[in-house]
Amino acid sequence: MDQFISKRESRLWHRKINQNGYTILEMLIVFFILLTITFLFPQLFIQLTKWIEKPTSLHPFEWEVAISQITMDIREAEAIEIENNRLKLINSDVILYEQYGKLVRRRVNNQGHEIILQQIQSIQFYYTTGGIEIEVEDLEGKMYERKIYTWTNNAI
């Protein structure tokens, strides 16, 4: 009886066999997708590393935040001193702004290491009429400057 299989049963049995395996076309499509991903991944990685690369310039927002902090400290100071290219603000505490390598740091009572600016080539502090002038050069050579005026002339 097993020898006599109808055509209908034969077609059903044949379909079941084809559903259990991959065809060569499916394998070629998967291989093509895998090759495409393998080819594009290094290119994507190169672009991401360029995008993530550390900048050598000062970010404008960082500059504005630093100036806001320095302005607040200058306006609260009872005395201001500039010596050895360091800005010393004397109040109940002594606040010191100084260059430290490629950074500008803020120290209170000669303690701490609060980074105010990064990617800095140089910073200069000058006395001006009614306040202080700050000039900063970043690693790309771009210059930033700001004049900060005090509310009273006692500090200078």
For the cut 60, the answer to whether the pLDDT of residue 100 exceeds it is: yes
Residue 19 maps to a domain: yes
The pLDDT value recorded for residue 12 is 55
Domain of 39 in residue numbering reads as 7-52
Q: Which of 49-53, 71-75, 139-143, 152-156 has the lowest mean pLDDT?
A: 152-156
70 and 97 Cβ atoms separated by less than 8 Å: yes
Residue 103 maps to a domain: yes
Claim to verify: residue 74 and residue 110 sit in the same structural domain: yes
Residue 2 maps to a domain: no
User: How many domains does the structure of the chain reveal?
Assistant: 2
Claim to verify: residue 72 and residue 144 sit in the same structural domain: yes
For the cut 80, the answer to whether the pLDDT of residue 9 exceeds it is: no
End-to-end CA distance of the chain: 114
- Model confidence over 24-62: pLDDT tens digits? 888 889 999 999 988 888 888 888 887 776 677 888 899
Claim to verify: residue 78 and residue 140 sit in the same structural domain: yes
Residue 120 maps to a domain: yes
Claim to verify: residue 24 and residue 65 sit in the same structural domain: no
Claim to verify: residue 143 and residue 81 sit in the same structural domain: yes
Residue 156 maps to a domain: no
Residue 70 CA to residue 75 CA, distance in Å, equals 9
Residue 25 CA to residue 35 CA, distance in Å, equals 15
pLDDT band at residue 15 using 50, 70 and 90 as cut-offs: low
